[in-house]
Every structure is written in structure tokens, then in C-alpha cells.
Amino acid sequence: MNRYSTKALLLDMDGTLVDSTPGVEKGWTRWSKTHGIDPQSVIDICHGCTSEYVLARVAPHLDVATETAILDGFEIEYAGEAIVRPGVAALLASLPPERWALVTSASREVAVTRFRLGGLPWPAVAVVAEDVSQGKPSPEPYLTAARALGIAPQDCIVFEDAAAGVASALAAGCRVVIVGHHVAMQPGVIGRIDDFSGVLLQQDENGLTLTLG
């Protein structure tokens, strides 16, 4: 078991706290087909990224606000299919509100819906797609979350599942735990988990001690 001292946890949502991949891919596939775009070419780049980021690469001629609203509708329609990963509810229940933040590429409406359907507590600090000018893989989302908590990025540990999110966190100066097996180990990544069932937390006057089982 590996133990790490940290001041806060910064948590991605889709693919990390909840397994929403099937629903996300259904939404993008449905959208792609309406525009005559190869769905696989979109799925290959969509994970961990904002709709704006993806649209700029696959359909820059379309109106971002209009298409994002359509995509959010699809995500909300499929939100009930998402499954909260084992151990997530217990982890969030054990975290003081000033010691964690949600950092997601989803819109606020989609994120709130996922948390509500999953029975998860909404955080005091949540950085969503609308809160940043540049989404992941830019470091801005994680820098914004750390700033909101009043904690230096290097004193935060990030849990992420996607390459864009890992790149964002590392560029912000955070340490990273990868969830799942879609991203390779690299400098700055301190561990890998399949779910949160083996993640333990202890709190003291200096912050948190994180144990990865």
C-alpha cells in the first residue's frame, strides 16, 4: 500500500467518479451521424474534453452554443446509464468540503444531473466547462480549482482517467492518480487504480493522508 500526503483532492467526473463512457459515446455518435461525420473520429478525441474543444476540431463551421446545447441534451438523456464507481460515495462522504473539488469538462447542468442521479454530494467547489476559457488538456481547469480552494497545485492530488485530463493536471503542477488503463504511466503520475474501493483517507492538522490499496 502506498501513502501520500496532500492538502486536497481534485476529481474528474466522467470515467473517474462515474462510468459514463457508454452514454457519452452514444451522444457523440448520435450527433456525428446527424452531421455526416465519422463517429469514431469524434470518439477518438472526445474523452476528457469539452464539447467546444471537440467541435473546434471536427466541425469548426458549426455554431458552438447550438451544438453544445444539443450534445448536453443527449448527455442528460443518457445520464441514467452512468454507474458510480465502487468506493466513490464513501470517499466523498469522508472528505471535508474545503479539501476537494470537482473538475470536469461537462457542463454544469450535465454534472449536476450526474451527481443527483448517482446520489453524490455536490461539492463546494466545482469547475465545469463554463468556468474556463480553455478546457482540458489546458492546465486552466485544475489551476482554477486549486485557486478556488486556496491550495497550491503541487499540494493537490488529481484523479483522472483520460489523456487530456492527465495532461491538464500535470501541466498545472499536480500529482496524478490514473483511474483505469487508458493512459500510460508517466512522470508526475503516482499511482493507478481500477476503482475507489481501496482508497483510504485520514485527516490531520496538516491535511490528508491518502492510501492507495
Q: Of 14, 19, 72, 161, which one is the catalytic site residue?
A: 14
Distance from C-alpha of 183 to C-alpha of 63, rounded to nearest angstrom: 31
Task: Supply the DSSP symbol for 129.
Answer: G
Task: Supply the DSSP symbol for 125.
Answer: -
Residues paired with 102 in a beta bridge: 11, 126
CA 19 to chain centre: 11
Is residue 12 annotated as a catalytic residue, yes or no?
yes
Distance from C-alpha of 212 to C-alpha of 175, rounded to nearest angstrom: 14
Amino acid at position 120, single letter: L
φ, ψ at 96 (rounded to 5°)? -65, 145
* Positions marked catalytic: 12, 14
